[in-house]
Structures are given as C-alpha cells and as structure tokens.
Amino acid sequence: MVTNIAPEVTSQVTDEALVQRRRAQFVAAAVELFSSQGYYRTTIQDIARKAGVSSGLIYQYVRDKEDVLLLSLLSVLDSYKQEIPQALAGLTDPLERCCVAIDAYCRVVDQRREATVLAYRSTKSLSADRRALIKVSELESNDLIAACLRDCIAKGVFREVNVELVTYQLVTFAHTWALKHWRLKELSTLDGYIEQGIDFFTQALLTPKGWRQYRKLLESRHSKADFRSRPENPAAE
Amino acid sequence: MVTNIAPEVTSQVTDEALVQRRRAQFVAAAVELFSSQGYYRTTIQDIARKAGVSSGLIYQYVRDKEDVLLLSLLSVLDSYKQEIPQALAGLTDPLERCCVAIDAYCRVVDQRREATVLAYRSTKSLSADRRALIKVSELESNDLIAACLRDCIAKGVFREVNVELVTYQLVTFAHTWALKHWRLKELSTLDGYIEQGIDFFTQALLTPKGWRQYRKLLESRHSKADFRSRPENPAAE
DNA sequence: TTTCTGAATGAATAATCATTCAGTCAACGT
DNA sequence: ACGTTGACTGAATGATTATTCATTCAGAAA
C-alpha cells in the first residue's frame, strides 16, 4: 500500500484515508518533538505518547523511525509550496509578485521557525535515497521564487543575473530569519527584516525601468514596503 | 585545570601543552567523523580509534562526549577568525578590505565545507550553556565583517544600512556555499559564486562615490573581480 | 450470535554506547 | 634500585531505545 503523499513510505494499514490521518497526527507530534529536542533525542515512545497512541502503532504506518523524519521534513517543505502560490494568487505584475513571494516566504518561515531549523539540522540524518526526495522538493519550492525572478528579468524590470544563484540568496535570506533568530530578533522585527531585505534585493536587481515601476508600486501600497495587505482589500486602507 | 582555548572544558591532565596537543588530535578525528556520520552516529570508540588512542583516554581530556562536540565547533569558528584577518593584513582601502573579507570568508568555508555544515547541524545538540559559547564566538567572527562594512559606510562608499543585518546576509552568503553545495556546485564554480556575490552586494550597497572607487579598484586588479592575488604580488600579473 | 478482519496495544528483545575503573607502563627523583 | 606519579588502556557496566510480536478488541459480515 502506498499513499499519494510519500510514495516511498509504505504502510501495513490498507485504509488510505486512515493512513493520511494517522500520519498527519504522528508528524504533528514528531515535528514538535524533533524541533525542540532533536531527532536522536526523541524516542518513538515520545512521539507515540504525544500523539496519544501506542508505540507499536506507529510501525503500522511507517517502516522505521527515519520514515517519520522524512515525512516530517516533507511536511515542512510542503507548507512553503502551499503558502507562496496562495499569496501570489491573482497578482499579475511581475515586480509585485516577486516582492510578495519574498514576503510570503519570510512569513511562512517565521510561522514554522523551529521546523525550518529542523530541516537544516536533520536532513543529513536521512539515508541518501530519502534525502534525494527532500532535495527534489526543495528544488520545487525554489522554482516558485525563480519563476518570479525570471519574469522580472524577461520584462526588463530586473537586470540579467544568474537566476538560480540569486534564488538561493533569496531563499537563504528567508531561512536565515529562522536559523539566526536568536540574534536577529534583537536587531529587528519580522516586518523590518523583510523590509530591509526587499530594499536590499531591489537595489541589487532593478534596472532604471524597473525603478520607475518599483516607485509606482510603493505608492500604490499603503506604507513604505508593506506587501502583506493586498490592494483589492480596501478595509486595510 | 583549564586550558586557554576553552576555559569551560576541564581536563584531568595537568600538562598544559599535552592537553592542547591531545585535544587537537581528538578534535581533528571528531570533526571528520561528525561531519560525515553526524554527532549521534559517531561513538567515542570511533573517535578514539581514528585518533589512535583508547576510548578511556578521551575522558582524561574532556568531561563528556558533548565537550568533544563543543571543542570541534569552536575549532571551526576559530578557523574563520584566523583566516579573515590574515587575508586583510596590510590592506587599508575600506572597499578593498570589504571585498577581500567576503572573498576570504567564502574560501575558508569552501576549505572546511563539511565542518561548516556540521556547525548548522549540531550546534543545537549542545546544552544551553555550551551553545552560548558558540554564539559568542559566532558574533566575534561576524564582527570581522561588520567592521569592514562600517568602515565603508563611514567613508561614504556604502550607503547607510543596518550593518548587523547586512553582515548576516554576507555571512550567510558564504555559509550557503557549503550548505547548498550539492546544488550550487552544478550552477557555478567557487570563483564564479564569489564574483556574482560581490557583484550583487556592491550593487546593493555602493553610493555614487563608492562606484567611482569600485571601478578604480577593479582596474587595479588583474581580471574583473578576482580578489585572491594581492597587488603587491606582481608574480600573478 | 458467531466469525473474521485488521487496528491497536505495550511488554519483551536485542543492540548499541557513554562512561568508569582496575590495572599497566614509563619516566623520573631519590 | 625502588617508589611515586601520571598518562594510558580496554574490558565491564548500566542505560537507553528501536523494533517486534503475542494479544486484545471493536465492529462488519454471515
């Protein structure tokens, strides 16, 4: 039996819907425990206790402990792939899309700060084949950002740069908010962090033509560089 | 007994020089093993075997396994604090110093790629008090970069930005070469990565006055953005 | 009701390892 | 020579924990 979520992880249990529900339940408990105590310090018994089931039950839904880690990490990456397209929905201006994507990425990272750190901590604890699945998923979510960049370049808003390399800088910028939160939280708020980041990246990338659009974009927004509230939402005005 | 390297780590052995030598020996073995297998999968017996000593001996030089990890991580951070000032020695132009510092940072990271990843993987496996020592050391090495930035701003070469925040972007840029090497190595060489990074950061930071200096700096260099060979080294011409 | 299926339990198993410690050895001072 | 000191060894100890499996149990089917 195989779920559509993670085809590589097999389960003893036949009821597809139940598998989904149980795994989500285990992963929720596991992400919390792995994030706070780390993978190796967390026992299957811990996860079972937090999920309110017996330790043996988990082995009906995964092959081994590493499978639980794999599912946990995939769930974190999935939340990126969920939230960013959602934030972009309906937006067409390439520059705006790019700024909103960065903004959204930083905000998911902020919401799942511990889980983001977990991904950096624990991906290497996976076997090579399982790690490969993570890499694929990571590249997919990077493509959400890369597409925005390519669009801006095609429209002459950003200068010609190595898209993939700049994508990594953007992605890392978002991740850093989680990875170095112990220090960054003393230097800035999340909003301030995003604002200075977008300021920095636009400075580095905008063409003269892009600058004109950027200024227009800022005017159509409420405050300086706040990309949270959407223009079609006049309540926030 | 206390060494000057890590005052918090105590040793049974009295001979100060011996303590230094043995610890260096253990740390060399440990960094290699931790990097390739991870902290928890590496046993004290593994480290002892690789270092060519008995497992019991290690406990004459550290309190527990976590101490070995602490010393290992501190040694990685120390290599940053060694190499960057060394690369900057003799240089006075603020802009040049800034570029050279970034260049040097990326190159240490490249040399100690696995160890850099180890720092991200394993810092959280330390107890809070030991982790605090790492944080202090990290801030110290960040200051090497921050000082260069402040200098450039004071001289009007860079615009006024939040120095600490930009420092983190620079530092993270260097670390990313190690963290995402599995992908980046397919996108660029180290030299290319550094070049595009410096290009990117200067675009974001330079003032008009700074631009004039930057162009002059590039001309005095051999190829475009190669900050490796020093001008006082005519052999490379 | 009785039977059957498969989900769920949790005690038992089998390893794995950090840490200790009784004992060896070599160097040195007397 | 001989006793002392301190580095060093490595087998033994004691915990911890992933994984298994004999059982229980609830509900569907007959």
Q: Which residue has the higher pLDDT, A11 or A112?
A: A112
Does a structural domain hold residue A191?
A: yes
CATH number at residue A59: 1.10.10.60
Domain assignment present for residue B8? The answer is yes
Please tell me which of the candidates B38, B139, B184 has its beta carbon nearest to residue A168: B184
Do B54 and B82 fall into the same domain?
no
Supply the pLDDT for residue B233: 39
Q: Domain boundary residue among A14, A29, A63?
A: A63
What pLDDT does B59 receive?
A: 95
- Of A75-84, A214-223, B74-83, least confident by mean pLDDT is A214-223
A36 — contact with chain B (CB < 8 Å)? no
Considering the domain boundaries, does residue A50 fall inside one?
Answer: yes
> Looking at CA atoms only, how far is residue A53 from chain B in angstroms?
27
Quick one: B105 and B168 in the same domain? yes
Using the Cα atoms of residue B118, residue A168, residue A117 and residue B148 in order, give the sign of their dihedral: positive
| CATH number of the domain within which B133 lies | 1.10.357.10
Asked whether residue B237 is assigned to any structural domain, the reply reads: no
Average pLDDT over residues B110-117: 97
**Alpha-carbon distances, residue A146 vs A149, A169, B17, B164 (angstroms):** 5, 11, 53, 27
What is the pLDDT averaged over residues B13-31?
A: 89
Q: Which residues of A touch B203 (CB under 8 A)?
A: 203-205
CB < 8 Å to A166, chain B: 200
Residue A105 near residue A63 (C-beta atoms within 8 A): no
B211 touches chain A (CB under 8 A): no
**Protein CA A39 to sugar C1' D20 (Å):** 22
| pLDDT confidence of residue B1 | 30
Q: For residue B42, give how far its alpha carbon lies from the nearest alpha carbon of chain A (Å).
A: 12
Residues B226 and B116 in one domain: yes
Q: Are residues A52 and A156 in the same domain?
A: no
Give the pLDDT score at A110: 98
Q: Could you tell me if A81 and A154 lie in one domain?
A: yes
Whether A166 and A199 share a structural domain: yes
Domain endpoint, select from B40, B63, B86: B63
B191 and B172 inside one domain? yes
CA angle B106, B112, B117 (to 5 degrees): 90
Q: Cβ contacts of residue A29 below 8 Å, gap of 6+? A: A47, A50, A51
Check whether residue A79 and residue A165 sit in a common domain: yes
Same domain, A52 and A94: no
Q: What range defines the domain where residue B50 resides?
A: 1-63
Residues from chain B that touch A176, judged by Cβ atoms under 8 A, are 168-169, 172
Chains A, B: CB contacts within 8 A come to 83
Please check whether residue A221 lies inside any domain of the structure.
Answer: yes
A139 assigned to some structural domain? yes
In a domain, B1, yes or no: yes
Domain count, chain B: 2
Let me know: does A101 contact A87? Beta carbons within 8 Å: yes
Domain co-membership, A48 together with A81: no
Q: CA B133 to CA B72: how far, in whole Å?
A: 12
- Rounded to a whole number of angstroms, the CA Rg of chain B reads 20
- Show the tokens assigned to B79: 């290599």
Evaluate whether residue A141 is within a structural domain: yes
* Domain stop point among A35, A63, A91: A63
